[in-house]
């Protein structure tokens, strides 16, 4: 049990990847909530995706660059459990968005909080646009029956809001992960 707790962020990250993708695949049409603005919907799952970028950063603090193996395992299980359209879109967005997040987090210097927020600022828009474009759910005309560009922007904002909340929470304190100051 202690061994599992040592990798709690990596395990949580893996589970979040699979859970969100399976939820999109099975319940996607029910996960878009209308807003007061015509043509704009919001998916609360976007906030969880924003948190999974943060979880990836914590998992990288646990595993170093071996976090890529957790990413690959999450994509494989997603492909096995989700339908092909969501699986391909998610895997494509995931490969590009998460690798951008990983690269930026690895290269940016400074505190964990600074690296986390900068990598999220880069990865969230990339992941969102690629996911909706590849899944063929994005259209540019507001009010269309499929997702609109304003909806996609709302999703990006939700992801960044989640990352920003974590950033505010940790920016002024030192985080210790596996005995290392992060």
pLDDT digits (tens, 9 = 90+) for 1-58: 677 788 899 999 999 888 888 887 777 667 777 778 776 777 777 777 777 778 888 8
Question: Is the residue at 155 inside a domain?
Answer: yes
Phi, psi of 177 (to 5 degrees): -130, 125
The answer to pTM > 0.75 is no
Count, residues in the chain: 182
Question: Is the residue at 34 inside a domain?
Answer: no
Question: Is the residue at 35 inside a domain?
Answer: no
List the structure tokens of 105.
Answer: 């987090």
User: Number of structural domains, the chain?
Assistant: 1
Q: Domain of 132?
A: 2-28+41-181
Question: Is the residue at 97 inside a domain?
Answer: yes
Question: Is the residue at 62 inside a domain?
Answer: yes
């Amino acid at each position: 049990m202690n061994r599992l707790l040592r990798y709690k962020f990596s395990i949580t990250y893996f589970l979040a990847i699979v859970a969100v993708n399976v939820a999109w695949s099975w319940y996607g049409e029910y996960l878009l909530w209308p807003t007061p603005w015509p043509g704009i919907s919001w998916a609360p799952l976007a906030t969880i995706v924003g948190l999974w970028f943060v979880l990836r950063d914590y998992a990288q603090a646990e595993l170093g660059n071996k976090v890529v193996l957790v990413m690959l395992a999450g994509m494989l299980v997603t492909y096995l459990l989700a339908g092909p359209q969501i699986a391909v879109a998610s895997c494509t967005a995931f490969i590009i968005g998460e690798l951008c997040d990983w690269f930026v987090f690895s290269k940016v210097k400074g505190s964990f909080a600074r690296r986390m927020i900068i990598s999220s600022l880069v990865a969230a828009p990339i992941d969102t646009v690629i996911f909706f474009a590849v899944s063929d759910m994005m259209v540019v005309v507001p009010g269309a029956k499929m997702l609109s560009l304003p909806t996609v922007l709302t999703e990006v904002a939700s992801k960044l809001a989640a990352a920003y909340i974590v950033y505010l929470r940790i920016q002024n304190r030192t985080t210790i992960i596996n005995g290392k100051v992060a």
